[in-house]
Amino acid sequence: MPIGWYLTVSVLIFCIGAGGVLTRRNPLVILLCLELMLNAANLALVAFARMHGGEAGQVFALIVMVVAACEVTVGLGLIVAIYRRNLPIDVDELHELNG
Amino acid sequence: MSAVLFFIAAIGALAGAIGVVTLRNPFYSVLALVCHLVALAALFLLLRAEFVAAAQVVVYAGAVMVLYVFVVAYVGGGEEYQAGAALRVLGPLFALALAVELCIAMLGSALSGIGGKGAPYVRGFGTPREIGRLFLTSYLFPFELASLLLLVAAIGAVVLARRRRGLDDPELESRLLHTPRPVFTGTMAEAAGLPRIVPELIEAVRAGAELERTDAGS
């Protein structure tokens, strides 16, 4: 398959993730949608690595996976802390940092 | 053959992504994401990224998703909050505009390789051997930085999610906190073996504790 097809799939996944981040209010689902966006970027990186015939893109994709794992760990820790304090798990209610 | 596999994997990945966004129950969203990740691993394999595909299945679809499932089971689905009416209309519109814009950018791209099938395949491309060699030679610094980042994230998660309220029984907690104890206990001085605990002081503290206990009893 031409590389452009893979990039198209990556674009669609990224946009679905962005729409999910905007429309969903549950921080758990927002984290999942962030994962979607990171994975779309990963797919584009691997596709470009295939296009150029070098492995640098794959190495970068692995680093992105590490960053995503860190983000998930801290995000889920925050959600557990929110739950422990009996606050509503809803990003519209948690707006103390609005400034 | 590879085209058929590509379309199957791409449809799986897109269906999983749509499922993550549209399903109401967070638990089903997590399961849809697992489906999406496995389909994406198949796409990685089609792109000859064997090691990335394996890491995707093991680390992502395995470990990270188990973490998600645990947290969803702990927090519970809960009632789903609805976004405001403006965001519910504008969000998908924004996503659509972004998709159109990115597709236009890709169609107008001057990259000549986009239409091709990629560079000619070299034996050993994307194998763990090659990736490991790159990680330990050219990309050693990002590799070490990633391990540091993982450590920071692990410590941060423990600090964030620990319980802050103390013990369940407030009386027991205050007794443990306010029990008089000999000076220099639990300090570095004692650990270093310095004989600085005065016996009379211990006696006096014990007498005080006895007194308090009888007070509490009466």
Q: What is the 3-state secondary structure (H, E, C) of A40-95?
A: HHHHHHHHHHHHHCCCHHHHHHHHHHHHHHHHHHHHHHHHHHHHHCCCCCCCCCCC
Report chain A residues whose CB lies below 8 A from the CB of B49: 46, 49-50, 58, 61
How distant is the Cα of B173 from the closest Cα of chain A, in angstroms?
A: 20
**The predicted structure's pLDDT at residue A61:** 93
More confident call, A25 vs B37: B37
How distant is the Cα of B161 from the closest Cα of chain A, in angstroms?
A: 5
Q: Of the given ranges (A31-40, A54-63, B62-71, B166-175), which has the lowest mean pLDDT?
A: B166-175
For chain A, the average pLDDT equals 88
Report chain A residues whose CB lies below 8 A from the CB of B104: none
**The predicted structure's pLDDT at residue B18:** 94
Local confidence pLDDT in tens for the 218 residues of chain B: 888 999 999 999 999 999 999 988 888 999 999 999 999 999 999 998 899 999 999 988 888 899 999 988 888 766 666 667 777 888 889 999 999 999 898 888 777 777 777 777 778 788 899 899 999 999 999 999 999 999 999 999 888 877 666 666 677 666 666 655 555 555 555 555 555 455 666 677 777 777 777 776 65
Inform me whether the pLDDT recorded for A42 exceeds 90. Answer: yes
Tell me the C-alpha distance between B200 and B206, whole Å. Answer: 10
- Among chain A residues, the shortest Cα distance to B108 is held by A4
Q: What value does the mean pLDDT take over residues A41-64? A: 91
CB atoms near residue B119 (< 10 Å): 16
Mutation for testing the B interface, residue in A5, A12, A33 having most B CBs under 10 Å: A12
Residue by residue, DSSP assigns B111-131 as: -GGGGS--SPPPTTTT-HHHH
Rg (CA), chain B: 30
Tell me the C-alpha distance between A83 and B74, whole Å. Answer: 9
List, in order of start, the domains of chain B with CATH numbers: 1-77+124-140 (1.20.120.1200), 179-217 (no CATH)
Mutation for testing the A interface, residue in B31, B60, B130 having most A CBs under 10 Å: B60
Report chain A residues whose CB lies below 8 A from the CB of B18: 16
SS3 B202: helix
pLDDT tens digits, A69-87: 999 999 998 888 888 877 7
- Confirm or reject contact between A97 and chain B (CB < 8 A): no
Tell me the C-alpha distance between A87 and A99, whole Å. Answer: 19
How distant is the Cα of A8 from the closest Cα of chain B, in angstroms?
A: 7
Contact A19 B91 (CB under 8 A): yes
Number of structural domains in chain A: 1
**The predicted structure's pLDDT at residue B165:** 62
pLDDT tens digits, A3-24: 888 999 999 999 999 999 988 8
How distant is the Cα of B170 from the closest Cα of chain A, in angstroms?
A: 18
CATH of the domain at A53: 1.10.287.3510
**The predicted structure's pLDDT at residue B55:** 92
Structural domain boundaries enclosing A76: 3-98
**The predicted structure's pLDDT at residue B80:** 64
Q: What is the 3-state secondary structure (H, E, C) of chain B?
A: CHHHHHHHHHHHHHHHHHHHHHCCCHHHHHHHHHHHHHHHHHHHHHCCCHHHHHHHHHHHHHHHHHHHHHHHHHHCCCCCCCCCHHHHHHHHHHHHHHHHHHHHHHHCCCCHHHHCCCCCCCCCCCCHHHHHHHHHCCCHHHHHHHHHHHHHHHHHHHHHHCCCCCCCCHHHHHHHHHCCCCCCCCCHHHHCCCCCCCHHHHHHHHHHHHHHHHHHHC
